[in-house]
Structure 1
Amino acid sequence: MQAPGIVPRASPEQFELAFWNSIKDSIHASDYEAYLKAYPKGRFAALAQARMARLRTPPAQGTPAAQGTAAQGSPPPVRQKTAPVKPAAPAPRVAASTARHGGEIRDCQSCPALVALPAGTFTMGNNASDPSERPAHQVTIDTPFAIGKFEITVQQWNACATANGCQKVAQAPNTSPSAPMRDVSWDDAQQYVKWLGLISGQPYRLPTEAEWEFAARGGTASPYWWGQQMASGKANCKECGQPWSSDRPANAGSFPPNPYGVHDTSGSVWEWVADCWHNNFKDAPPDGRAWDEPNCRVRVIRGGSWREGAAYMVTSTRFRYDTGVRQSQNGFRVARSLK
């Protein structure tokens, strides 16, 4: 039998339980704030309020906590309206490689590395996993596209923030510039791709859910991109082998890429995609476009995170969050069409 996906049943109660289980040991107040925003009257609301209050209470001066860990539980920055972004002076252009299968593209010095992928047909979803991943269905992506070789890193996000294209988002002390950027909402990710488009002159966006799974599978049809069974050393999760830390994800690219040359699609951080959340794939578009809805406020995240176990590393794993929620396990990678 294949490992289960995110939840045993695609019900609101199980989604809430999965959310709570992913943060219940967190030392970040923003995680409990995110839970309360999604489930203000949830079954764990009182406990979340208590933990958030405790994490936000400054420890007594002179204690070890006052000297070290207090910053980890500090509240997220106050969100402010962002001024209209003025196009920055174009960065020196770096010649892009040809858009062949596996060819690497970098559109500007501040731009993330992309992997060029061909058009193709694949089976999306998984009939033997969670109900939200069913039915498995054929999708044909008609045109080549490029997707981030890695998740967006702290350094890349900070370049956008420094240019006033993105909001500054506090990170834990001693966070590596090469760490995947996290604690960003879907709305935040939209700011980043808009800024990236301005400085590069290219149509950057979030990948569609179909594009994401096509890239994550790396041309395979197995539950994991590396095969039928879980294997150590392939992904950044708590049951996946070293390097692993309960406090934070490993730096981008610390684990090997899949056959398409894309890193960290399993584990590391959950990744926002363009699509509106639907409870399953019934009536999903067969052509790989984003499955959207008017005024959609709940979007799809894919791939699991370093805090989850092996069952979440299945390539078809999917979950959902409100577009405005910042959660410390959530990040993203970018994509763009290839002309």
Structure 2
Amino acid sequence: MNRIAHLALAVAVTLSSSVVVASANAADMSVTEIEQQIAQTQSDYDNYHKNLEAEEAVARELERELEALRENAALADVDRQAALIEMNLQYERMVEDPTLDITGVQKKYQEAVLAHKRLKDAITDKYNEWQNKLRAVEQLQVSKHSLLNTLESLKEKLNSARIDRLYAEFNRKNSVTVSHNVVCDRDETINKCMERGKNLAKQKASKRFLDELYDSLSDKVEAERRRSSSDAYVQVLRSEVTDSNFSGMGNFNVQMAVELQGNLKRNEGCQLLGLDKRYCVGAKNKAQDVAELVTETSTAVATDESVMHELTVRSNVYDDEVFIDGVSYGSTRLQIMLPAGEHDIEVVKRGFEPYRQTINLNETRTLRVDLERAKHTFAKGERIQDILAGDIPGPELVVIPAGTFRMGDINGVGLENERPVSTQDLMNSYGMSEFEVTVGDFEKFVEATSYVTEAEKTKGCAYYENGKAVWAEQRNWRAPGFVQTEKSPVVCVSVNDAQAYVDWLSEASTHRYRLPTEVEWEYAARAGTESDYWWGNGVGTDNANCGWCGSQWSNVSTAPVGAFERNDYGLYDTVGNVWEWSTSNRAQAGAVVRGGAWNFAPRLARVSTRMEIDPEFRSNYIGFRVLREQ
């Protein structure tokens, strides 16, 4: 236990120092400082992972030793019984023959009893040692996951800091002195030749300055790779002719001092470095983005034709599709010239209610469309719902079809426990709750059964603070530490609590409900894809509720279930919001959480990420969803 205590103390110090860094604003730390912290935290994590594996190996060895002692105790008990029988036989003979010496068999019986007792005592000691080791390993597992989240948080800060650095390095001013020589055309006036020479000199200075900007960037390799597709540019602020002259051959020589300014919008910085847009679309940039959009609209000029007018269509979502008179014109923001008169406008996007309107176009017009999320739209999967005893509606389910898929770290960016990638066959379809089990759902169960959760019985519920899981006795599913509604996913529940809920569902519905296996969970969450998230390999912005994912709930609390778009099998919140309990034959304790959470980094919300947790653990970032067999 001393080794565990020392290790836990070392980890606590590491986590504490790492979290201080992770919680700092990117503006307070340079890219180099964050990279150094990442390297140190990664080293700590790697060493800690090795130590944890060693402790798990010790726990397994103790279990084997315990089993060996139990086997030896069983054999010793057989010896004790045999010695007792022999002593009783000799005692009966001694009754007939008092001169018979039975000291030897008595001693043998005494030795057998003592040997059996020693083994029983050894079993008790070994069992206690094993249980203590298991408890220590459980705490180390939780701390390991916390350290991993700290590491991923630092990586989030690093990307934000890289964008800040790029923005500062590119958007700077400088003066460039250039010389240029032009040959005046025969029919060109002197003034025109001079103006042409000065304009070419300014273009030359701009090109030189732009090259210097790219060459001086700290991330110049990444930036140069995407330079051709970037909208970054330079602006001439001031120019001054420092020397000029005409040669006898009609050549004009000019020397100019040109003051220039680099111009790179923050959202274009992400594109230049190949980073997700969420690192560039923050609260501090929204006003700038709106101002730019207004400027673009105000300067748009319609073609001056008597029977043609310009229509601009905007919507509140990305990747929508605009149909005008039944013809698709692509996605918004859309500008198009149309004949005057009536036109049927339709804007659609999967997961939203379609927008339809007939307009009479008799002038330049901007149409602003606000699409509303559809409440009951499915691309795939039948929707079913059982009515429980007492006319209580059961969870809303989506039928997941049978099929085959590749499970694990397909793209090679995951953790060691996500490998190897394996092909899994699911022979039967099943129903999966389209939402995580909500507070309202769980409350119906508690009211019907008077069930008391493990968090309410003892120790409370854990929450994530300063890089580790902290227990709070007053926290439970009713009070997890943040405001929730009946539509919030229930948290602070252990596997046993979740199992009690599905057992109640099974009894109340006469159908078999249970927790999904992690194979069934990943198959349903992938929804036929092989990317890290069901929509692609990048987490994007405001696609899910996870740490640094750009939603209003990120790193704050859980979101109401169904706040984001469902996957292609019809399931909501398989990415982020709360980790979800599943069962697994691979896990030593049989319990694994999947899917990420509101306060864990996006990389840990990938579809193949798996974390083995003790079944009795509960926290305000772990919930569950249910499966119904056919």
Q: TM-score range by the shorter chain?
A: 0.5 to 0.7
CA contact (8 A) 1:110 1:159 kept: no
- Cα 1:311–1:174, aligned 2, differ >3 Å: closer, same or farther? closer
- Cα 1:10–1:242, aligned 2, differ >3 Å: closer, same or farther? same
Find out whether 1:322 has 2:605 as its counterpart: no
Per-residue deviation, residues 105-139 of structure 1 (Å, max 9, x unmatched):
11114311111011100000015111100011100
SS at match of 2:613: strand
Counterparts of 1:143 and 1:277, CA distance in 2? 21
- Structure 2 partner of 1:79: none
Letter in 1 for 2:386: D
- Cα 1:238–1:104, aligned 2, differ >3 Å: closer, same or farther? same
Counterparts of 1:246 and 1:139, CA distance in 2? 34
TM alignment of 1:61-210, pairs within 5 A: 101-108=380-387, 109-127=392-410, 128=412, 129-164=414-449, 166-167=451-452, 169-172=477-480, 174-210=483-519
Per-residue deviation, residues 240-299 of structure 1 (Å, max 9, x unmatched):
122314332101111111111101111110000122443xxxxxxxxxxxxxxxxx6341
CA contact (8 A) 1:165 1:192 kept: no
SS at match of 2:487: coil
Per-residue deviation, residues 170-222 of structure 1 (Å, max 9, x unmatched):
32464211000001000111000000111111100001111100000011111
Identity, % of aligned pairs?
A: 36
Q: Which has the higher helix share?
A: 2
TM-score, normalised to structure 1's length? 0.65
- Cα 1:252–1:37, aligned 2, differ >3 Å: closer, same or farther? farther
CA contact (8 A) 2:576 2:605 kept: yes
Letter in 1 for 2:503: K
Counterparts of 1:9 and 1:101, CA distance in 2? 45
Counterparts of 2:516 and 2:606, CA distance in 1? 19
Letter in 2 for 1:208: T
Find out whether 1:11 has 2:54 as its counterpart: no
Counterparts of 1:332 and 1:163, CA distance in 2? 20
TM-score, normalised to structure 2's length? 0.36
Letter in 2 for 1:334: V
Greater relative contact order (Cα < 8 A, sep 6+): 1
Unaligned runs of 5+ in 1: 16-34, 45-99, 279-295
- Cα 1:198–1:41, aligned 2, differ >3 Å: closer, same or farther? closer
CA RMSD of aligned residues (A): 2.8
SS at match of 2:572: coil
Unaligned runs of 5+ in 2: 1-41, 54-134, 145-378, 454-476
Counterparts of 1:335 and 1:158, CA distance in 2? 19
Letter in 2 for 1:107: D
Letter in 1 for 2:514: R
Letter in 2 for 1:166: Y
TM alignment of 1:215-234, pairs within 5 A: 215-234=524-543
Aligned residue pairs total 242
Letter in 2 for 1:170: R
SS at match of 1:190: helix
Counterparts of 1:315 and 1:309, CA distance in 2? 13
Letter in 2 for 1:310: P
Q: Which has the higher strand share?
A: 2
Counterparts of 2:50 and 2:491, CA distance in 1? 25
Find out whether 1:38 has 2:138 as its counterpart: yes
TM alignment of 1:169-318, pairs within 5 A: 169-172=477-480, 174-278=483-587, 297-318=589-610
Letter in 1 for 2:423: Q
Counterparts of 1:328 and 1:14, CA distance in 2? 24
Counterparts of 1:232 and 1:104, CA distance in 2? 29
CA contact (8 A) 1:165 1:191 kept: no
SS at match of 1:112: strand
Counterparts of 2:626 and 2:524, CA distance in 1? 12
Counterparts of 1:126 and 1:251, CA distance in 2? 29
- Cα 1:248–1:13, aligned 2, differ >3 Å: closer, same or farther? farther
